[in-house]
Amino acid sequence: MKTIMSLAIAGMLALSAANAGNFTEKNSAKAKKIIDLAVEAHGGEALLEQLDTLVIANETVNHSVDQSRGTEPPWDTTENKGYSAIDLENSIFVTQSAGSGGGFENNSATIVNGAESYRLNYRAGTVAKIAEPDFATTSGPFVRVTPPLLVRTLKEREANAHYLGEVEVDGESFHVVGFSMTVGPAINMYFDTKSHVLRRSERMFPNFGLVEYRFDDYEKTDGLPFNKTFTLYLNGDVNVERKITSVTVNQPIDRYTKVDERLASIPPVEPDPLARKELAEGVWLIGGSGTYAMFVDMGEYVFAAGGTGGIPDRIELLREVVGDKPIRYGMLTHHHSDHVLGVSAYEAEGATVIAAKAHERIARRAAEDGERLKVKAVDKRMVLEDGGRRVEILDIGPTAHTEHLLVAYLPDEELIFEADHFSMPRVGPAPPAVTSTQTFAEALARQDIEVSRIASAHSPRVATMDDLARALEAEVFQASR
């Protein structure tokens, strides 16, 4: 009886394995068929393979979803004009953008061209070499919003593609194929069942949500179809509306790799690894890759300022100097989506999250269990005094960037921690002040406090008040590209 049962189970397992193999084979074959139809719809394999260089100019309106001065729609907008140029054979990528909004003004470019890779700041009039350029990472966002390049990439990587099914969205029918690019989350591509043209794509970002891309109003250039309009949705809200103003195929892009000789050279942009810097005894700035938090030893516990991404890694580095001392408070500077990512980390530590009164709802929304999250809402001011140290938490808003802005001020150290308003670049001098920096300086002046140093959530360099003064006085470099 036992032998018969074993044979029966073995037979069932064999049947299951056969069915699984059959399903996988059918799925791969279906995905390949859809990909082949998509390749034909996007100009054919020969034309796609012959696509060596591409330059696309655009005009973009960015709707600042969860990045506006207030916490509710209508969202603030930012308008930009720019272009991207790519040379696929030689792994060259150039992108430039100029515009304003949200308290910021920008005019900058990035050139990735092997040893001749640069970051250019036209407002500051500076150019810095990129020490370790990464073509795939830098060009990835452009490839993902350019259908011929995205379909070409899908064809090249069809071995890891999967057919996800046929769906109807807004009355239209699509075949959906998913695959992974070399960088970032997997992407699902929606091909029209009739025309086989790419109309939509989607990606899921952990702790951030659903990003949807829409491609419309196709026109052909040199036999390749390019969308004339592009819309990006963030968790269902319109985030980016873009109009393609020109498309140039297979023309030299050498002129885009030239650096204006009038730009002043500053030290190279080096990688930004996770690191810990002691700003004063028992005060550390910990971070990397452009995001930082400040930790203050209060004797029996630790106070943390800043809620950007990567807080667990920063806490791990903190533990090397404070041991298992609890983090009792974690302060959020403001409500923007990239500055509340740390809520769940503070929640896991059992800490009370400190937020501006107007931002409590946003903090709870970012938590694993918003109802149980311990929150201390700050109206104008909160003071912590323990272990012989004083920390003042001040709401110095409004600014051009946000209606409410919490800063952590250490009076004995004359040190302040802020986010998004004034951060020194990792190399070179402070650039000319943008509007958010100007209003930040005005907000500081309204406070009866003595500040000599400014730590930021986006730079490892601690600024001085002289740096801030120079930024406020600096003139914008007059350059066009």
Contact by Cβ (8 Å): 277, 284: yes
Where among 225, 243, 268 does a domain terminate?
268
Residue 115 falls within a domain, yes or no?
A: yes
State residue 24's pLDDT score.
86
User: Which CATH number is 424's domain given?
Assistant: 3.60.15.10
Q: What are phi and psi of 139, to 5 degrees?
A: -85, -15
Residues 105 and 130 in one domain: yes
- Provide mean pLDDT across the span 155-168: 95
The answer to whether 225 touches 197, Cβ cutoff 8 Å, is yes
Please indicate, yes or no, if residue 13 is contained in any of the structural domains.
no
CB-based contact 422:456 (threshold 8 Å):
yes
- What is d(CA 394, CA 407) in angstroms, rounded to the nearest whole number? 5
What does the pLDDT average to over 71-96?
97
pLDDT at 12 over 50: no
Question: Are 306 and 364 members of one domain?
Answer: yes
Q: Give the tokens for residue 387.
A: 């272990």
**CB-based contact 161:144 (threshold 8 Å):** no
Tell me: the pLDDT tens digits for 435-445? 999 999 999 99
User: What is the per-residue pLDDT for 185?
Assistant: 87
Per DSSP, the residues of 217-265 read EEEEETTEEEEEEEEEEETTEEEEEEEEEEEEES---GGGG---TTSEE
Q: What is the CATH number of the domain that holds 241?
A: 2.50.20
* Helix/strand/coil percentages in the chain, nearest 5: 25, 40, 35
CB of 72 closer than 8 Å to CB of 361:
no
Distance (Å) of CA 16 to CA 2, 13, 21 = 21, 5, 8
Task: Give the pLDDT confidence of 119-129 residue by residue, as tens digits.
Answer: 999 999 999 99
Do 184 and 306 share a domain, yes or no?
A: no
What confidence score (pLDDT) does residue 9 get?
43
Does residue 14 surpass a pLDDT of 80?
no
Report the alpha-carbon distance of residue 87 to residue 92 in Å, rounded. Answer: 5
Local confidence band at 320 (pLDDT 50, 70, 90 cut-offs): very high
Report which of 258, 264, 261 is spatially closest to residue 474, judged by C-alpha positions: 264
User: Sheet of 302-305: strands edge to edge?
Assistant: 275-280, 283-288, 291-297, 302-305, 327-331, 352-356, 375-378
| Among candidate residues 385, 408, 395, the one with its CA nearest the CA of residue 455 | 408
Res 475 pLDDT > 80 = yes
The length of the chain in residues reads 481
Answer yes or no: is pLDDT of 21 > 90: no
Do 134 and 187 belong to one domain? yes
pLDDT at 206: 81
pLDDT tens-place string over residues 351-399: 999 999 999 999 999 999 999 999 999 999 999 999 999 999 999 999 9
Q: For residue range 47-76, list pLDDT tens digits in order.
A: 999 999 999 999 999 999 999 999 999 999
pLDDT at 106 over 80: yes
How far apart are alpha carbons 280 and 102 in whole angstroms? 33
Answer yes or no: are the C-beta atoms of 205 and 186 closer than 8 Å: no
Token pair belonging to 455? 């730590």
Say yes or no: 292 and 392 in one domain: yes
Confidence of residue 20 (pLDDT cuts 50, 70, 90): low
Whether residues 319 and 237 share a domain: the answer is no
**pLDDT tens digits for 224-237?**
999 999 999 999 99
What would the mean pLDDT of 132-158 be, rounded to a whole number?
96
pLDDT at residue 472 greater than cutoff 60: yes
Would you state the pLDDT for residue 443?
96
- Give this prediction's pTM: 0.89
**Closest C-alpha to 457, from 398, 400, 407, 413:** 407
> Residues of 1-35 as b/e, b for ≥16 C-beta within 10 angstroms?
eeeeeeeeeeeeeeeeeeeeeeeeeeebebbbebb
Q: Based on the fold, state whether residues 401 and 433 are members of the same structural domain.
A: yes
**Do 219 and 76 fall into the same domain?**
yes
Domain finish residue from 211, 236, 268: 268
Q: Are 259 and 279 part of one and the same domain?
A: no
**Residue 19: pLDDT band by 50, 70, 90 thresholds?**
low
Amino acid, single-letter form, for residue 227 = N
* 191 occurs within a structural domain: yes
Type of residue at 110: T
Whether 37 maps to a domain, the answer reads no
pLDDT, tens digit, 9 for 90 and up, residues 187-202: 999 999 999 999 999 9
- The pLDDT of residue 255 is 96
Boundaries of domain holding 184: 43-268
Q: Give a yes or no: residue 467 inside a domain.
A: yes
Beta-bridge partners for 58 = 82, 244
8 Å CB contact between 62 and 68: no
20 Cβ neighbours under 8 A, 6+ residues apart: none
Answer left, alpha or beta for residue 170, where phi above 0 means left and psi between -120 and 50 means alpha.
Answer: left
For residues 200 and 242, give the distance between their C-alpha atoms in angstroms, rounded to a whole number. 15
> Among 268, 297, 327, which residue terminates a domain?
268
30 inside domain? no
Say what the pLDDT of residue 11 is: 45
- Do 261 and 283 fall within a single domain? no
190-206 burial, b at 16+ Cβ within 10 Å, e below that, comes to bbbeeebbbbbbbbeee
Q: What percent of the chain has pLDDT over 70?
A: 95
Angle, helix 147-156 to helix 135-144, in steps of 10 degrees? 120
Residue 23 pLDDT class (50, 70, 90 cuts)? confident
What is the rounded CA–CA span in Å between residue 398 and residue 479? 32
The answer, yes or no, to whether residue 276 has pLDDT greater than 80, is: yes
**What is the tally of structural domains in the chain?**
2
In whole angstroms, give the CA distance from residue 115 to residue 122.
Answer: 21
Query: Is 379 a member of any domain?
Result: yes
Q: Report if residue 238 sits inside a domain.
A: yes
Give the other-Cβ count within 10 Å of 414's Cβ.
14
Q: What b/e readout covers 448-460, taking b as 16+ CB neighbours within 10 angstroms?
A: eeebebbbbbbbb
**Domain identity same for 138 and 160:** yes
Q: Please indicate, yes or no, whether residues 237 and 326 belong to a single structural domain of this protein.
A: no
Whether residue 429 is preceded by a cis peptide bond, meaning omega within 30 degrees of 0, is no
Q: Cβ atoms within 10 A of the Cβ of 232, count?
A: 19
